[in-house]
Amino acid sequence: MSAARPALPARPFHAVLIANRGEIAARIATACHEAGLRAIALYTDADRHALHSTVADAAYCVESYLDATAIIAAAQQAGAEAIHPGYGFLAENAAFAQAVIDAGLVWIGPSPAAIAAMGDKVAAKRLMAAAGVPLVPGAEAADDPTLKAAADQIGYPLLIKAAAGGGGRGMRVVTQAADFPAALAAARREAAAAFSDDRVFLEKYLLAPRHIEVQLLADTHGAVVHLGERECSIQRRHQKVVEEAPSPAVDPALRARLGAAAVSAAKAVDYVGAGTVEFLLDATGEPYFLEMNTRLQVEHPITEAITGLDLVRLQLAIAAGEPLPCTQTEIVLRGHAFECRIYAEDAAAGFLPASGPLHLFVPPTGPGVRNDVGVSTGDQVGVAYDPQLAKLIVHAADRPAALDRLAHALRHYAVLGVTTNLPFLNWLVAQPAFRAGETTTDFIARYWHPDPSTAPPLPQAVLLGAIALDLLTQQDRANTRPTADRSPWQTVGTWRAGGGRSLRLTYHDTTYTVAVTPTPAGGWTLDLDGTTTTLTATRRDPATVVITTADATFTIPGVVTPAGLLLSWQGQPYHLTKPAPPTVETTATSSATAGAATLTAPMPGKIIALHVVAGATVAANQPLLVLEAMKMEHTIIAPHAGTVVHLPHPLGATVTAGTVLAEIAADPA
């Protein structure tokens, strides 16, 4: 904007290496492509087929996303002149930023000095105090006795924090003086192990604060603007799950105050690029500086939604030496946005990370709905990395409309195979306190008390969906079999007199028995406990069933897996198993003694399907393998829940009658 600005090279870089993975790597690749730049990805062995490496123009294998030398070498080999670190990994590593610059590459981020100044939380707080930014009351000291004295003065509860901490780690709440010495020793040990730095400091533990953060942009010409705030108070383990912008607790006066404090924080370290200044707001609405994050934040899309700015494009432009495209007064906040992080985790079991195959991953679509995604259907979700799979972002004219949009989108988010936090998110959006904007950092602890032992009731739509999915699958199987082989006996299911058959499906402790009669119109009449329903079912795509009954039509995502039928309804996954029909069940001779079962072949035959592997955990009635004998398929099922301790024959093996096919040991109670 200044006339004295030096002339810029036309295009200082043409290709960008993205030193990250998952949704953020994919999102940065998109921004590079929109800017006419090549995007170079990295992947590790665990990420060999990951989405992010397939959307880039080229991908290089590295041992680790933390291997600075290999990453810089990959950039040079690929002809990338710039490196974007994303968030996490090396994004706030000043030594890496310096190594990138020393290698003659453009670092898309602030200077190593600014990263270092803000990376040490103690130093950052000192700097902020000098810049006149209010701090959470606290104390720093090198030795334990001084810290103890300071702790008693601050009062309890208080927090011991690691100076080099981050990501919600290295924090300990102490509720009373007597616990302080042991907590301090433990905090130092944890900090040394996690960050190779055992320095800690103390902060007053604010009760039920809000986490409010201000987005900044600064160019290389000295201009700094703020883009308003985000509220990120819905947290578990001090880590964010849901964010919104603007905050329901911030009015224009407070926004201006926070913005000014954030801008002075940035100016204090000659900040360049996108950065975030985090505050806690106490119960009276007073803000306190928490820390500055010298990188792009996970939750940046909600700021993009309400400002109309593309923060990653702007990071690229700033790194290329371009001035900011707007002044503070030109930044207008429009509407309201929410972000939900979709994590592979079991929210009902203490938010424990989950892993497994992603049989289906279909995010919702619609006006004002954005998905930043790092996975796709068919992926295997492992435990090597953070369990974040994707982010759902919605934007609407105001908070109530954005909430309605969020609730609708979450109800239509279908993930099958891996446990995710979608049931939690669907619960959250319906909470009156959340809808009222009463979002404080203790929200989850205060309101979320699920009983992991109780399953959600099975909606009628899901039961009909499962029946339809099973019937369609049987039909597909029958249609793909050679004509000569077709017989009613092979279209699975048990045929009953009069052309009907019965079907059994188990959901948790309940088994539903349905009598099925085909209708002339190509549908089925179902008799379920004396209630009759006539329906037709078709597949819209391989994983979506459309069901029409006399009074409704609905669509339900569902897949058939070796472990059973998986269906998604209103953001909640349901797992039903199919006990083999009685005639087949009896064909496996099972000798069960003291919780163990040995399953032997009822007749000579060939193993034509293996649904489990040795060591697998199985549910009662879960199909284990299929034996083809006398032109019939016999499904061998688990007589009870347990572990497959012996599975001696490979697929295709021919066995004689009485051969042991599997052994199931019941798990200790």
Rule CB under 6 A: which residues touch ligand ADP? 136, 159, 165-169, 203-206, 209, 211, 235, 238, 278, 280, 290-291, 441
Find out whether 624 and 636 touch, Cβ atoms under 8 Å: yes
The full DSSP string for 234-263 is EEETTEEEEEEES-TT--HHHHHHHHHHHH
Burial 387-405 (b: 16+ CB within 10 A, else e): bbbbbbbbbbeebeebbeb
Following DSSP, what letter does each residue of 407-418 receive, concatenated? HHHHHT-EEESS
> Which of 540, 365, 549, 543 has its CA nearest to residue 460?
549
For residue 334, count CB atoms less than 10 angstroms from its CB and return exposed for 0-12, middle for 13-18, buried for 19 or more: exposed
Instruction: Specify the pairing of strand 660-665 against strand 632-637.
Output: unpaired
**Within 13 Å, how many C-alpha atoms sit on residue 192's CB side?**
7
Say how many residues make up the chain.
Answer: 669
Measured between alpha carbons, how far is 152 from 145 in angstroms, rounded to an integer? 11
Residue with tokens 């990138």: 100
Order across the sheet with 596-600: list the strands: 589-593, 596-600, 660-665, 642-646, 617-618
Q: Which residue has the tokens 């279908």?
A: 414
Establish whether the linkage from the previous residue to 325 is cis, with ω within 30° of 0.
Answer: no
How many alpha carbons fall within 13 Å on the CB side of residue 412?
A: 14
CB of 136 to ligand ADP, least distance (A): 5
453 CB neighbour count, 10 Å cutoff = 6
In which element (H, E) is residue 115 found? helix 112-119
Where does 499-562 show beta strands of DSSP type E?
501-507, 510-518, 524-528, 531-541, 544-549, 553-561
Tokens at 312, concatenated: 């990653």
CA within 13 Å, CB half, 171? 16
What is the spatial order of strands in the sheet that 239-245 belongs to? 287-293, 273-281, 210-218, 224-236, 239-245, 336-343, 388-396, 369-373
Rounded Cα distance between 229 and 123, Å, is 24
Q: Which is it for the CA torsion 247, 250, 251, 254, positive or negative?
A: negative
Sequential DSSP letters for 250-309:
--HHHHHHHHHHHHHHHHHTT--EEEEEEEEE-TTS-EEEEEEE-S--TTHHHHHHHH--
Closer CB to ligand ADP, 241 or 369, in the complex:
241
CA–CA dist 420, 572 (Å, integer)? 9
* 338 touches 406 (CB < 8 A): yes
Phi, psi of 148 (to 5 degrees): -65, -45
End-to-end CA distance of the chain: 71
- How far apart are alpha carbons 651 and 606 in whole angstroms? 8
Question: Residue type at 79?
Answer: G
Cα(399)–Cα(404) distance, integer angstroms:
9
